[in-house]
Chain A
Amino acid sequence: MKKQVSLKREFLKGVWDNNPVLKQLLGLCPVLAVTVSAINGLAMGLAATFVLFMASLLISTIRKTIPPQVRIASFIVIIATFVTIVDLVMKAKFPDLSKALGPFIPLIVVNCMILGRQEAFASKNSPGRAILDALGMGAGFTIALIILGGIREIIGSRTFFGFQVMPNQFEPWLIMILPAGAFLTLGLILGAVNIYTDRKKRLEHESIIAHYKRVGREELIEELEVK
């Protein structure tokens, strides 16, 4: 019997513990390419979230009908359909945004985060859990893109979501809006995340050890069994 995870955890794991960008490093091509500004990051994140949500919902609904031999082909066709819908709607209703995101919307089809979630999660779980997972992963993806885009926009062009936040005396660092800036920023963010995670893990270990020293072995085992 598979251990059931709480619904809240199902959502939250994508936001932090398994964040697709910061922890799994999936879908980095659009992540690095479009994040020259926070608004681009937000739009890309929302577009990917929509596709992920729709694809997860549909695929987990029909997961028992799809023969395992053709599952990848089915996933790709379904994902491609939703991506094309997003692309057409954006072109029709938000031409400016569509121009800014250019060729990266069609490329969501091959975003490995989306296919990865279908293969690893949606095709094995009920629709309810699949949409929670999709929303969590999408939120994690969008947050990571906004952070990356925000940092690059503030340092690279003095603005945040189009509003000037740095004084005119601050000379923008061009490198931040060039591709190299994406790698530098992402590297530094990943480093910071790892430092934080390591420290948290170490503190947890230390508190368990301290607890053990206080209560002794038998009691600790008992406590763990109760949990």
Chain B
Amino acid sequence: MNKVIQMLLVLTSIGIISGGLLAVISEWADPLIAANQKAATEAAIFRVQPEGKSYKQIENVGFELYKVINEKNEDAGFALVYDGNGFSGKIRLIAGLSEDLSNISAIEILDQIETPGLGTKITEEPFTSQFLKLETNPKIEWIKGAEPTKPNEIQTITGATISSKAVVAILNDGISRLKKLRDSGGLK
């Protein structure tokens, strides 16, 4: 009987002490973690919208969307965070869009778990720079193994066609949802 009580006591006290310690640490770490995430998003927004000076989140649209405002306090466009399936998992990206949604200012891949050395090239130049000033009407297209000829076309990466196509598909999905939202008056 004594053994059982000792076992219960020891395990319970270890649990209580651990829990208390973790509560204290988590109390300290949570605001820092939230600040880090906010800083990361903020930096990404201003990288895809270089003219932006401030931003505000548009709430209740079902996805992450920010309105970016420039130095002269005019609307500079939008920053859209959207995700979708890549080659081996989710790809999450942020795209800067002009005020009328007709072209992209820049994109950046936020999270991906594509094949190292092949699929991960979607996060690097020269792939990402193809999206600078890319037209989005009627939708973004891709071409394999040749220079893009149309203003709404990008070239896929050799050896990472699926990842490249996934980026285009995610952008098209997100932008078409955004356009729908605008047409129904949800953007004002």
Taking beta carbons and an 8 Å cutoff, which residues of A are in contact with B?
36, 65-67, 69-70, 73-74, 77-78, 80-81, 84-85, 88-89, 91-93, 95, 156-157, 172, 174, 177-178
Chain B residues with CB under 8 A of A70:
7, 10-11
Tell me how many residues of B have a C-beta within 8 Å of chain A. Answer: 22
Question: Of B10, B15, B28, which one neighbours A66 at CB under 8 angstroms?
Answer: B10
Q: Are A174 and B116 in contact (CB under 8 A)?
A: yes
Chain B residues with CB under 8 A of A178:
115-117
Q: How far is the CA of A203 from the CA of B115 in the complex (A)?
A: 46
Chain A residues with CB under 8 A of B25:
84-85, 88-89
Q: How far is the CA of A172 from the CA of B36 in the complex (A)?
A: 33
Question: Of A69, A93, A95, A172, which one neighbours B40 at CB under 8 angstroms?
Answer: A95
Chain B residues with CB under 8 A of A69:
3, 7
- 19 A-B pairs (CB sep. < 8 Å): A66-B10, A67-B3, A70-B10, A73-B11, A74-B10, A74-B11, A85-B21, A85-B22, A85-B25, A88-B25, A88-B29, A88-B33, A92-B29, A92-B33, A92-B36, A95-B40, A157-B117, A172-B117, A177-B117
Taking beta carbons and an 8 Å cutoff, which residues of B are in contact with A?
3, 6-7, 10-11, 14-15, 18, 21-22, 25-26, 28-29, 32-33, 36, 40, 115-118
Q: How far is the CA of A77 from the CA of B43 in the complex (A)?
A: 38
